[in-house]
A and B are shown apart, each in its own frame.
Chain A
Amino acid sequence: MSSQVTAVVVCHDTGDYLTQTLQALSHQTRPADRVILVNTSGIPLGHSFGSTQTLELDSKTTLPEALAAATQTLISSDTHWLWILHDDSAPEPQCLAVLLETLETTALVGAIAPKQVDPEQPRVIRQLGLTLTPLGEPLSIVSGELDQSQHDTMSDVMAVSTAGLLVRTDIYEQLGGLSPKAPPLAADYDLSLRVRLAGLRVMVAPAARIRHAQLSLEGKRSRTWLGGSPKTAVRKAAVHLRLAFSPLWFALIYWMLLPLVTVARTFWRLFQKRPDRIPAELLGGLWGFFTVAARLSARAGNSRGIRAIRKSFDAPWSTVRAAGRSQADLEQQQELQQAFARGEHELEAANVGKSFTADRGWLWAALLLALSYANFPTAVAVVSNSVSPLADNWWQVFLRAGSSWQPIGQGFAGPADPFNWALLALSSLTPWAPSLSVGVLLFVAPALAFSGAWRTATLITPKTWIRTAFGLGYALWPWFIQARNDASLPTVIAAVTLPWLVFTIARAAGLGRSGSARSMRQTWSWVGVSGLLFALVGVSSPVLAATALIALAVVALTRIKRFGYLLWIGLPFSALYTPLAFNLMLTTANPLALLTEPGVPTSAAVTDPSGLLLPVHPLDFMQYGYAVFGLVALFALLTKRWVLASVMWAFALLVVAIAVVHWQTLFANPGGLGDLEWVAGSPSTLLIALGLVLLGLVAIAAEYAKPSLRMFIGLVVMLAAVAPMALSAATAARNYNFADDRVVPWLLEADAQIGKNVKVLLLDARSGEYSAKVLPVSGLQLEDNSIAYRYSLAELNRSDPAYKSMADLVAALVSANDDTLAESLTESHIAYVLVPSAASEGAADLINSLDSLTELSSAGSTEFGRLWRVTAPVDEALAEDKSPWSTTKLVQLSILVGFILLAVPTNGSRSRKSKTAEIFIENDGDNS
């Protein structure tokens, strides 16, 4: 008995594809017995297509509804087949005939589908059956492969797409057609699995071919058709299949864990350098979590049957990996072709010079380490006016980063300094002794700066000597060496990071001689590194971050095609800085407060602006080598890159202008004593950035100069600039000491070690005023500095009752004439009183008072000042019920982890380089 076929063409977009499909349908060697065209485009077709019956439906009609409308009048039988075609799926002339031939020779077939090929490249297979990964993800068994008949032996599959699907009408009716509860891309899985559960086979007929444009999956249809973007639709399909076709217990657990699974998959996508898929992951996860009732109601109910089907047809991991590689290669091919079209392949052939190792860069780095011999750490911690030790364990540093509760003063609810994240990163280098990392950094800082600057120079020149001079000039830049010798940690971190930041942004933006990242994954990797480095620079020097943002904006505007990537570079910094920015705006209502430098406030002498460009030691003439760089940089304006040089000079002058304004800004520091009550903005980081720009100009001048002039520039730079600066750096005095990492006397440290939760009152007497600070017995470490607290002190002293009562206690101690003093001390959990500036003027009376108190007993002079112990027993304070975790911290940490994953090179992104040429060979093959 011959089969009867009714073809249903579901049309959602009218146009060429529909015409081609209908023409292809009419050219079948075995024509369909009846053709029904269902138009859901919302635009009436206006003309008839031969004997085709046309149904006009609303544009909101879904595929299941359209098919239901078309099959309403069909007579179901086991010899009557429904051939479902999409408007973008044109069957080749033999398609239906081959499908029916296959049916004649095969028993118990419920659904059969042809091989889907690319309409533009018919030799490329787009789909040949569907399956699931072991984790339940939808997977096209074959995709993007050249059709060399290698898959023509395939027959039974788990599922097939509805495009070109030939399904028996009786079983179709029995199963109720496509499930309206399933999301669009899961509906074909759903139908196929139910056909199989009904005891029939689902097959592919590789000899039957259909040219499927896959408009939906390529995002060429309106989003309403798939209920979102193609990626979101794929994810929704995966979630639906997991909930609908897994055992119930597993489905419920999966649903409960779906938020966590979504977060994990989000990070995984970052690691894959596919942040473009994150919205789909989030939307799909949320959709699945909140529509669980609909998913569960769509369950087939035959778990054992489903398990058996999956056991037979799930793709093995090898297939999953192969499919992943195939997909990645396909994407890479497309990206490389786009890069080729942009002409970026030419950079690969350009002379980019030797590598750092081949250039003997390590030799210069070692020389810089030798010049830093005086900075070699001889003890765990660095101690100076501008830096104090970190906590003695890494976890404590971690707790302070991003926290919203600070154990300073009377306890302070406010954002932690974003700089704490930089301290956390730094201390992670030596987690067993966090403070050691500071000393190590100060020692290796010039070498690190050299290697970073050397990398930056590769953007401009392939010549070894120019790169080396660039690197040495930066590593020996007077303000950088001074910051290192002053242990100005934020400045050093910003200075060491800055050249790397410039290099990575250039790579992400596709700027510079060393070429750009061509694949999306490589670009995202550079964006990840840039984001982290920008955050590091920004939290260390907000004023430099503001200046860098201007530069980044210029780069983004000139590389507008990369804007979508460059936009994300500022995200980690924004995440880290926004809480503090909000706090500062509320506290000070002054945007300049955002430029407050982190770390220990140090006084910077403010003189007239003419002193700005003089070194700290103006009589050290060896430091004036930087001026030679400035003079040589002018020659860059006479080279063929004069436009670039002009822009760089304009930026250099802008940097100086910002430095002047910052230098003239005085930031309140109510916790500071004497001269430190107002702290001037330090121009150091900006002057170091100026150095990088000037060195870039010098490199341009040297690179594009005539050979004879280039030699002259080389001699001048090395003899008149680098050599004197090296001599000056080698003989510069170190203004910090190495010590153990205690910040309190041993007596207190011992209490801290046993976890005693008591307080220390730090008392100072200056200029007729007494100032006091309450500390935990372990003292305050570097990570306890808080800009928010600094600006909140005025208000706290004015209105906080705890501060008022502490002031009363201090007055009682000073006057030594309060009968309730012991009570007040124990109530405040103060077990020690420390006068750090015992030798200062005005402290004598204070010490006399404290000495005269029977409530205190002198514990002698310590390296931290005069110490008294409270004689009465002091109860320990209850542990503060303040979680070190907060929403802010979680968000910040998530973004940082995300960017770290984005930055980490993956196999996929690393393998690109070696496969660069293969793409074009493949194309050649195709073209031939």
Chain B
Amino acid sequence: MIRRILALIGVLGLLAAGVWASTLTLPKLYVGGLVDSNQIDVKPRDLALVCPGPVVRAGGASGTELGVLDRVGLAKVQGRFGSSVDSISGRQVGSEPTNLNGPSIGFDTSKPYVFVAADESGQMAQGSAMATASQLQLVNNARIKGLVGAACQKPSSEFWLVGGDTTTGRESLLLLTNPSKVDATVNLQVLSTEGELKISGLTAISVPHEDTVIIPISALAPKLSTFAVHVQSTGGALAGWLQQKAVRGTSAAGVDFIAPVADASKNLVIPGFLVRGVKDAAALKKANPDFADLTNVLRVTNPGDEPAEITAQVTGSDSKTFGTVLQATIEPRSTIDLDIKGLADGDYAIFIESSAKIFASAKLNRTNKTASVVTDFVWLPSVSAEAGSRVINVPAAGISKLAIANPTEKTVEYSINGGGLAANLKLAPGALVSLLVTGGAVSITASDAGLAATLIVDVDSTIAAIPMVEYRNLGGLISVVIR
């Protein structure tokens, strides 16, 4: 029996030694090696930028002609091209291209317009420093009134438009332009507060090449105050905006082009939240229920399958503009609006943190009842922070402010040139700044951490936003592994 007990003790001892050994950190053993990818230097495709063209009017001049969608007025298009661009061509969609002379180009257009910048050598890094374009249009007629601005887009096969409202007096039109030589088939996905809308007419929408198709979201999904539109195309790549219009009673009360938001992320930033006319808006809301929607809102879409818990920090630029914090949980595949209340006039940026990847934008109202009641709004998209040298066109009209935010965790050193500015500056983490700029090209060169920026244009208390977006085609050194 003694031997048996000794055997038991021996095994228990070995087990104890094993438990002790399990607390040790053992070295990892590696077997085999990974593939060194093939580095291939390729010339990127010529950079094409599509501008949306003038605003669209539904119902013709009278507003009663069913199915009639026509363009109103002319949009002022501005382009700025880098010195190393070998050739610039431009065309209205559906027309033959013509050669343009850079570096700065500006003209009016009655249709969506396409710029193509070619760099024969392929050595120049694509981005706004190589080609940037934007458009601005002040509309002032009985049925559409407001300032509309947009950064011209590089066509894409998938993007999200977060914004819009189809309740009474509101109109959302989806403008899809296909500048390619291939027809596109589009599938739309609309995520509302109740989840994904299951309605007919959202799939297999044909967008012919060199053409624009306008889809009235208001007709497909009426009386929807909160939603986001997911555009997916097969075939040709598209540029798209959501044209949002508001009418109070019989008075036009603002219009905007809602641009695609930045890629879904757990950390987003919305610069350019420049709040003005808070008191006027409060007075109007108090006096007339029609002005109830003058409240600024943050719209967040959760495209994933897990709930997203978000914290949005509305940060002011100085001690006088004390911000606010919003918290919410967004159900999977749905969109919510969060009212941003209690802000004083001032410059703000919205920093959002989320437990899951989300999209976001913010609706900013502009009210002035000094002389007559003027209301307008703009949907500010979330934009990605970028490093390096970037350029944006500043329109000559109105007051333009370049709102810059630092969503990173490092202080960013940057220089700004043009638009009446020439300075080397620093921006602390989570900080923002709004710089008054005059017409012309403004360049920002930031250190590697990157900055997010949006240009806010104010013309007679109407407002438009031109986000600073970097578009580039794939090229340069590409890493390829053959599996």
Contact = CB atoms under 8 A, between A and B. Distances in A.
A671 B10 CA distance: 46
A812 B40 CA distance: 9
A771 B480 contact: yes
Contact of B38 (A668, A807, A815, A816): A807
A807 B40 contact: yes
A772 B481 contact: yes
B14 interface: yes
A851 B7 contact: no
Contacts of B1: 638
Contacts of B156: 844, 848
A835 to B, nearest CB: 11
A436 to B, nearest CB: 29
Nearest to B472: A845
Contact of A660 (B26, B122, B236): B26
A847 interface: yes
Contacts of B43: 815, 817
A797 B7 contact: no
Nearest to B182: A854
A849 interface: yes
Interface in B340-387: none
B34 interface: yes
Given A637-B7, A668-B34, A815-B44, A845 B474 contact: yes
A306 interface: no
A794 interface: yes
Given A817-B475, A858-B235, A793 B14 contact: no
B87 to A, nearest CB: 15
Contacts of B232: 861
Interface in B109-154: 122
Interface residues of A, number: 80
B422 interface: no
Given A653-B14, A817-B45, A666 B7 contact: no
B235 A857 contact: yes
A893 to B, nearest CB: 29
Given A665-B28, A772-B480, A860-B234, A814 B34 contact: no
Interface stretch (B17-25, B68-76, B425-433): B17-25
A769 B480 contact: yes
Interface stretch (A32-40, A319-327, A438-446, A642-650): A642-650
A841 B36 CA distance: 22
Nearest to B5: A638
A637 B11 CA distance: 9
A816 to B, nearest CB: 5
A803 interface: yes
A668 B31 contact: yes
Contacts of A866: 234
B473 to A, nearest CB: 7
B198 interface: no
Interface in B51-67: none
Contact of A849 (B26, B45, B233): B45
Given A807-B38, A851-B233, A661 B29 contact: yes
Interface string A662-685: 001111101100000110000000
A274 B313 CA distance: 84
A656 interface: yes
A609 B26 CA distance: 8
B3 interface: yes
A798 B37 CA distance: 8
A660 B38 CA distance: 36
Contact of A768 (B3, B11, B33, B479): B479
A670 B122 CA distance: 31
B237 A606 contact: no
A828 B62 CA distance: 59
Contacts of B21: 609
A138 B141 CA distance: 117
B34 A677 contact: yes
A664 B45 contact: no
A149 B335 CA distance: 106
A846 B480 CA distance: 13
B8 interface: yes
B107 interface: no
A587 to B, nearest CB: 8
Contacts of B235: 851, 857-858
B27 interface: yes
Contacts of B30: 665-666, 668, 678
B199 interface: no
Given A771-B480, A808-B40, A817-B475, A852 B32 contact: no
B479 A769 contact: yes
A271 B155 CA distance: 71
Contacts of B480: 769-772, 807, 810-811, 814
Contacts of B24: 609
B158 interface: yes
Contacts of B155: 848, 852
B12 interface: yes
Contacts of B46: 817
A670 B45 contact: no
Contacts of B5: 638
B20 to A, nearest CB: 10
Contact of A797 (B23, B31, B35, B263): B35
A676 to B, nearest CB: 11
Contacts of B37: 769, 797
B474 A815 contact: yes
A790 interface: yes
A901 interface: no
A796 B14 CA distance: 47
A553 interface: no
B478 interface: yes
A793 B483 contact: yes
Contact of B42 (A637, A812, A851): A812
A806 interface: yes
Most chain A Cβ neighbours within 10 Å, of B35, B233, B474, B480: B480
B180 interface: yes
A610 interface: yes
Contacts of B38: 797, 803-804, 807
A409 B22 CA distance: 41
A610 B22 contact: yes
A846 B35 CA distance: 21
A816 B482 contact: no
B481 A770 contact: yes
B445 interface: no
Contact of B32 (A791, A806, A811): A791
Given A609-B26, A769-B479, A804-B38, A816 B45 contact: yes
B320 interface: no
B32 A593 contact: yes
A224 interface: no
A426 interface: no
A106 interface: no
Given A793-B35, A816-B473, A860-B234, A606 B44 contact: no
Most chain B Cβ neighbours within 10 Å, of A646, A660, A668, A848: A848
A770 B481 CA distance: 6
Nearest to A847: B157
Contact of A852 (B18, B33, B234, B237): B237
A811 B42 contact: yes
A345 to B, nearest CB: 31
A646 B22 contact: no
17 contacts: A608-B23, A637-B7, A670-B483, A677-B34, A678-B30, A678-B34, A769-B479, A794-B32, A794-B36, A797-B36, A807-B40, A807-B482, A810-B478, A844-B157, A844-B158, A851-B182, A858-B234
Given A609-B22, A858-B182, 12 more contacts: A608-B25, A646-B10, A660-B26, A668-B33, A670-B35, A772-B480, A791-B32, A794-B32, A807-B480, A814-B474, A815-B43, A851-B157
* Closest 5 pairs between A and B when the two form their complex, measured CB to CB: A668-B32, A858-B234, A807-B38, A811-B40, A610-B22
